Amino acid sequence: MKQPEFDALEIIVDEKFTAGVDEVGRGPLAGAVVAAAVILDPEQPIEGLTDSKKLTEKKRDLLFDEIKEKALAWALGRAEAEEIDEINILQASLLAMKRAVDALPITAKHALVDGNRCPDLTCTSEAIVKGDLTVPCISAASIMAKVTRDREMVELDSVYPGYGLAKHKGYPTKVHMEALHKLGPTEIHRKTFGPVKKLL
């Protein structure tokens, strides 16, 4: 009769070494692709975790602080615009995710990765399509990556004024496209992306 208790304990132990992994910034024309890896504490559940894109900026910021406080471990990884141009956006996204997992202060035994491809990791891994919507540790990684990247783009807006980076975060909006035509690409723009490539 004690078997279920043992199973429950085993699940908790496993959770303590399972990292959720996600990246943000595949679509923008500028800036890095940023990934996060998060190992949640099963004894400190966090309410309201979901795909970061479904949350308001205020809610994301609150959850960002709560994840940093309650998670057993978290880390960020990135690939810069030059790397994206060199190895393509898919490979750069996988590289950023690998860097995030490698940077965890606790070694993950298993990784749950958002999407349909896993990076080359030293631990076992599993890709879950729309995992950021359904798997709490992936949702947490999605929030950590998005808040980090969004804040970076706000900072870069003052370094590269006139492009509207703080608002569109580097995505190809009408405002961004007009600024690109008027001012030309910067060093943080992805030179191999069609709209930027045309202007070079």
Q: What pLDDT is stored for residue 6 in this prediction?
A: 45
For the chain, residues with pLDDT lower than 50 are 1-6
Q: What pLDDT is stored for residue 8 in this prediction?
A: 53
Q: What pLDDT is stored for residue 7 in this prediction?
A: 56
Q: Tell whether pTM > 0.85.
A: yes
Find the radius of gyration of the CA atoms of the chain.
Answer: 18
Rounded to an integer, what distance in angstroms lies between the CA atom of residue 146 and that of residue 76? 11
Q: What pLDDT is stored for residue 14 in this prediction?
A: 73
Q: Are 136 and 120 in contact (CB under 8 A)?
A: no
Q: What pLDDT is stored for residue 12 in this prediction?
A: 52
Q: What pLDDT is stored for residue 143 in this prediction?
A: 98
Question: Tell me: domain 3-151, CATH 3.30.420.10, correct?
Answer: yes
Rounded to an integer, what distance in angstroms lies between the CA atom of residue 74 and that of residue 149? 15
Count other Cβ atoms within 10 Å, centred on residue 148: 18
Q: What pLDDT is stored for residue 97 in this prediction?
A: 98
Helices 57-70, 136-159: crossing angle, 10 deg rounding: 120
Edge-to-edge strands, sheet with 110-114:
73-79, 33-39, 18-24, 110-114, 124-128
